[in-house]
Amino acid sequence: METFLIKAAQLIAAFALLVIIHEFGHYIFARMFGIKVEKFYLFFDPWFSLFKYKPKKKSTKTDPNGEERATWRDTEYGIGWLPLGGYVKIAGMIDESMDKEQLAQEPKSWEFRSKPAYQRLLVMVAGVLMNFILAIIIYAGIAWYWGEKYIPLDKAYEGMDYAEAAQEIGFRNGDIPLFANGEKLEVAKGNYLLEMAEAKTVTVLRNHKDTIDIAIPENFILRLNDEERFLTYRLPVYIGDIVNGEPAKEAG
């Protein structure tokens, strides 16, 4: 039961983040164009809300044309009890609230319907735009934290282990490949193995001091075993910890 509640809370929290980002897009673009936002709610609030806040002090701003502009103090902020979405109630626009009475009155300068078409379009698509930006940020964060990590070839101090076919033409375990046909090999490209297999000459660093040129026979790539990689990194082994009282500890 505890696991279920934790998962449910995680789902609601993730959903709430998406809703807030989406609705904030509509809200911030409406504010940018001086449109009055009457409500900004996370989740729906039929009959009652769990929390709401409305600034008491009103403030009025005017644009360069002398027309009244809406401010953040015009908005009621709240949290509904029905976690099926959220909404911003924009003056002069029929939305989830289905408030048609306001549209029966004369348009005000701070209403949605009084603004130019391009501003109304931006307000309507802003929610999707914000979700798109959020997706880019999330995936960029994933790539940055968990993305592919590699060791540059010239930093692989233990060198490489080579396939038997590679050793037959002159490679030795421990060699560090540096160049193919005189061009530096880059792991980041992803095709450095193909470049080596199709090159005429591969330059390696042997024993951390000798530079050796190895001639690659024509069609060498066909001699490589499909189940065996051309080369693999040799990974050094480090002892991280030793248990007290055990033979390894006593042996030093």
Contact 204/212 with Cβ under 8 angstroms? yes
Q: Torsion-angle region of residue 208: left (phi > 0), alpha (psi -120 to 50) or beta?
A: left
Instruction: Please answer whether residues 123 and 29 qualify as being in contact, where contact means their C-beta atoms are separated by less than 8 angstroms.
Output: yes
Catalytic residue among 2, 23, 106, 218, which? 23
Q: How far apart are CA 176 and CA 192, in angstroms?
A: 13
Main-chain phi, psi angles of 123, to 5 degrees:
-65, -40
Q: How far does CA 126 lie from the centroid of its chain?
A: 19
Please name every residue paired with 176 in a beta bridge, in sequence order, or none if there are none. 205
Contact 72, 30 (CB under 8 A): no
Does 23 qualify as catalytic in the annotation? yes
Neighbours of 252 (CB within 10 A): 5
CA nearest neighbour of 26 among 12, 47, 41, 46: 41
Catalytic residues: 23
